[in-house]
Amino acid sequence: MEKLFLLISCLLMFTHQFCSEAATSNPEYPYSFMTADAQKAASRSYDYIVVGGGTAGCPLAATLSQHYSVLVLERGDSPYGIPDVEDFRGSPTTNPNVAQGFVSEDGVQLVRARVLGGGSAINGGVYSRASTEYIRKIKWDEKLVYESYEWVERLNAFQQYKLSTWNSATKDGLLQAGVLPYNGHTFDHLVGTKISGSIFDENGKRHTAADLLQYANPENIVVLLNATASRILFSFGSGKPKASGGVEFRSNNDGLIYQISLNQLSINSEVILSAGSIGSTQLLLLSGIGPKRQLKEMNIPALLDSPFVGKQVQDNPSAAFTIVSSKPLEDSYSQLAGILDNSQNYIESGSLVQRNNGTNTQYLGVLDIKLAFPLSRGDLWLKSVDPRDNPYVRYNYYSHSLDLQRCVKGIKVMVNLSMSSSIQEFAFTDSGNSKTLQFLGRALPKNQSNDDALAKLCKEALGTFNHYHGGCQAGLVVNERYLVKGVDNLRVVDGSIYKDSPGTNPQATTMMLGRYMGIHILQERTIS
Ligand SMILES: Cc1cc2nc3c(=O)[nH]c(=O)nc-3n(C[C@H](O)[C@H](O)[C@H](O)COP(=O)(O)OP(=O)(O)OC[C@H]3O[C@@H](n4cnc5c(N)ncnc54)[C@H](O)[C@@H]3O)c2cc1C
Ligand SMILES: *[C@@H]1O[C@H](CO)[C@@H](O)[C@H](O)[C@H]1NC(C)=O
Ligand SMILES: *[C@@H]1O[C@H](CO)[C@@H](O)[C@H](O)[C@H]1NC(C)=O
Ligand SMILES: *[C@@H]1O[C@H](CO)[C@@H](O)[C@H](O)[C@H]1NC(C)=O
Ligand SMILES: *[C@@H]1O[C@H](CO)[C@@H](O)[C@H](O)[C@H]1NC(C)=O
């Protein structure tokens, strides 16, 4: 039964893919169902309102639209035709039309997406699945997980057959430093050194989660751009508050406030938050769901005292080291992953050509390390009641001593990597004929025997991969089906439900999660 259902929905999706492709004409707005006309979009009700057309939201909405009417509310604009997004050499993270920077209370500079496609439109492009252990621990249905990854990969994941000079050297260096075995090209999470997938294709063109809307049923979906949700609207009767009132949002085009409601004829209609770790958590708080005392401080009427909203948020600490190369390098994004055997650190690399002004060109090779499963956790709380403002976030990096110990272990491998003959190829030879790697900024030591010095280096080099997650954590804020505890008709599907970040990089699993939960929701309704 389940198999048959999947087969039918799969067939349907391929038909629709071709239908919508045929309807594509304007390359800047390729979907007939994408609009910024708030008045028209708000003139009807929907079975599902998905808040946030991001990495999880797009695949989720595309899947639900096979059988039900869906509205996607996205605060940003279309990613199509924006060179900063589409070209791998672009700088989306510093383009305010598609990204919003924020500084954590720890002082780390981070960035949020503000564009259809979400993080997948501004990120580094690495595509890598979660480990089998992760999938088992989180108790997902393994078969559906792999089917969902494949559904994403048919459109959005590419094997990288051409390695850049720097990535190729890093690959050899990792093997020399003992990050073994070599696993070749794979999307799978395997201990050792591998060539990861990418959402950049062979031509360096980015494929964002918005591309998964090709799977949508164009008759059943509206994607409203430039629409910032401000709160969820509840109705009260017997039992728990229901999100059936829908969502209030502000159109950035006309500056007006609109309310959009759920289909009142169905008891199964839902508002689904897919606004990301920061956005979904913020929206629950703005809607009166959160720690009571904190809501009171902001003069928000408490609908539900939910003490864990915004608690235990996390960002994986990282450290990047930049080497000025003695040889020419190309611009290249991250293509490799060194997955260390204690599974506590991941190493990646990339390179860039710094064309200062035509006369002096610098070639920079970057080695990056990320702590896989930090124990330090932090908090998110509101700065204002304006949904356009960033909330306060504190990640408390390295507040747990074990995190620092694990970083030290990882840095030791980085030292060995930098000392490998493959990386030493890029060193400069001085007058005394000895070779030295020239670092831009913070250097890796040659000597890895001083743990205290390495711990100090971890703290000084503290940076981020922007893999921050949590805020509506599964088990605390939402239940095992990601329904918000204490209210009805409200779910969260995005990186805010994670306790730990999946895979070396999370986007593969977050796109997968959108598809996976879409199928789950369709199945729940077929069964009930
Ligand atoms: C700079 C950077 C580099 C990264 N590199 C990689 C990488 O190489 N590989 C990888 O796997 N991962 C990478 N990541 C992480 C990954 O991209 C994110 O973890 C993932 O995209 C998060 O998905 P999400 O669905 O939880 O949220 P998002 O994709 O951020 O989606 C949230 C969406 O909701 C919208 N939204 C928010 N609030 C509202 C509101 N109030 N109303 C309406 N819409 C709203 C946002 O505009 C956004 O489109 C990177 C992230 C960043 C920022
Ligand atoms: C969205 O808003 C931006 C900035 O206000 C504007 O330039 C853009 O045209 C809008 N997009 C659409 C599709 O109307
Ligand atoms: C280019 O950079 C060099 C060195 O940084 C500087 O001396 C020179 O004035 C610059 N030239 C231009 C045209 O900006
Ligand atoms: C680094 O290399 C040295 C010398 O080969 C070796 O003794 C040491 O164990 C390596 N360290 C790590 C963390 O792999
Ligand atoms: C590395 O540092 C340790 C402790 O500080 C020292 O004993 C050792 O001689 C150093 N090794 C090298 C190769 O410099």
Can you give the CATH number for the domain in which 71 is found?
Answer: 3.50.50.60
Amino acid 368 reads: D
In a domain? residue 320: yes
Residue of 16, 189, 207, 467 with catalytic role: 467
CA of 256 from ligand 5 middle (Å) equals: 66
The verdict on 271 and 326 lying in the same domain is no
The verdict on 419 and 275 lying in the same domain is no
H or E element that contains 116: none
Beta strands in 124-189 (DSSP E): 126-127, 158-159, 182-185
Q: Is the CB of 226 under 6 A from ligand 2?
A: yes
Closest CA to ligand 5's atom 7 = 449
Q: Which atom of ligand 4 is nearest to the CA of 177?
A: 14
Position 6 scores a pLDDT of 34
Contacts of residue 102, Cβ cutoff 8 Å, sequence gap at least 6? 109, 110, 111, 112, 278, 390, 393
Binding residues: 115, 123-126, 495, 506-507
pLDDT digits (tens, 9 = 90+) for 251-283: 999 999 999 999 988 889 999 999 999 999 999
Position 20 scores a pLDDT of 38
The verdict on 500 and 456 lying in the same domain is no
Q: Is the CB of 223 under 6 A from ligand 2?
A: no
The verdict on 264 and 345 lying in the same domain is no
The verdict on 410 and 271 lying in the same domain is no
CA separation for the pair 398, 130 (Å, rounded):
24
The verdict on 429 and 356 lying in the same domain is yes
The verdict on 190 and 264 lying in the same domain is no
CA of 76 from ligand 2 middle (Å) equals: 8
The verdict on 329 and 458 lying in the same domain is yes
Q: Decide if 158 contacts 197 (C-beta within 8 A).
A: yes
Closest CA to ligand 1's atom 45 = 52
Q: What six digits make up the tokens of 433?
A: 């004929």
CA of 329 from ligand 3 middle (Å) equals: 22
Amino acid 12 reads: L
Nearest to 423 by CA among 172, 164, 162, 163: 172
Q: Decide if 351 contacts 330 (C-beta within 8 A).
A: yes
Q: Decide if 412 contacts 344 (C-beta within 8 A).
A: no
pTM of the model: 0.94
CA separation for the pair 174, 421 (Å, rounded):
11
Q: What six digits make up the tokens of 296?
A: 């009171």
In a domain? residue 433: yes
CA of 94 from ligand 3 middle (Å) equals: 24
Q: Is the CB of 450 under 6 A from ligand 5?
A: yes
DSSP label at residue 37: -
Residue ranges in the chain whose pLDDT is less than 50 = 1-25
Position 355 scores a pLDDT of 85
Amino acid 45 reads: S
Q: What separation, in Å, do the N-terminal and C-terminal C-alpha atoms of the chain show?
A: 14
The verdict on 332 and 433 lying in the same domain is yes
Closest ligand to C-alpha of residue 408 is: 4
CA separation for the pair 280, 497 (Å, rounded):
10
Closest ligand to C-alpha of residue 29 is: 2
Domain range enclosing 54:
2-82+207-312+469-527
- The structural domain count of the chain equals 2
Tell the burial category of 301 from Cβ atoms under 10 Å away from its Cβ (0-12, 13-18, 19+). Answer: exposed
CATH (domain of 449): 3.30.410.40
Last residue of a domain, one of 466, 488, 505: 466
Position 8 scores a pLDDT of 37
Contacts of residue 51, Cβ cutoff 8 Å, sequence gap at least 6? 57, 73, 229, 247, 271, 272, 273, 274, 275, 279, 280, 283
In a domain? residue 492: yes
Q: Is 467 a catalytic residue?
A: yes
pLDDT digits (tens, 9 = 90+) for 471-491: 999 999 999 999 999 999 999
Position 526 scores a pLDDT of 80
DSSP label at residue 310: T
Q: Which of 412, 424, 454 to mutate to test the pocket of ligand 4 (most atoms within 8 A of CB)?
A: 412
Last residue of a domain, one of 466, 490, 518: 466
Q: Decide if 414 contacts 454 (C-beta within 8 A).
A: no
In a domain? residue 118: no
Binding residues for FAD: 115, 123-126, 495, 506-507
Q: Is the CB of 345 under 6 A from ligand 4?
A: no
Mind spelling out the 3-state secondary structure of 325-336? CCCCCCCECCCE
pLDDT digits (tens, 9 = 90+) for 354-410: 988 777 899 999 999 999 999 999 999 999 999 999 999 999 999 999 999 999 999
CA of 419 from ligand 5 middle (Å) equals: 15
The verdict on 286 and 431 lying in the same domain is no
Residue linked to tokens 């995190």: 403
pLDDT digits (tens, 9 = 90+) for 25-68: 455 558 999 999 999 999 999 999 999 999 999 999 999 999 99
Q: What six digits make up the tokens of 446?
A: 């040659």
The verdict on 321 and 455 lying in the same domain is yes
Amino acid 448 reads: Q
What residue ranges line ligand 3, CB within 6 angstroms? 356-357, 359-360
Closest CA to ligand 1's atom 49 = 118
Q: Which of 359, 360, 361 to mutate to test the pocket of ligand 3 (most atoms within 8 A of CB)?
A: 359
Q: What six digits make up the tokens of 508?
A: 């593969």
The strand pairing partners of 435, in sequence order, are 429
Nearest to 404 by CA among 346, 443, 369, 456: 456
Q: Decide if 480 contacts 139 (C-beta within 8 A).
A: yes
In a domain? residue 483: yes
The strand pairing partners of 227, in sequence order, are 251
Q: Is the CB of 416 under 6 A from ligand 4?
A: yes
Q: Which atom of ligand 4 is nearest to the CA of 415?
A: 1
DSSP label at residue 130: P
CA of 350 from ligand 3 middle (Å) equals: 26
CA separation for the pair 144, 516 (Å, rounded):
7
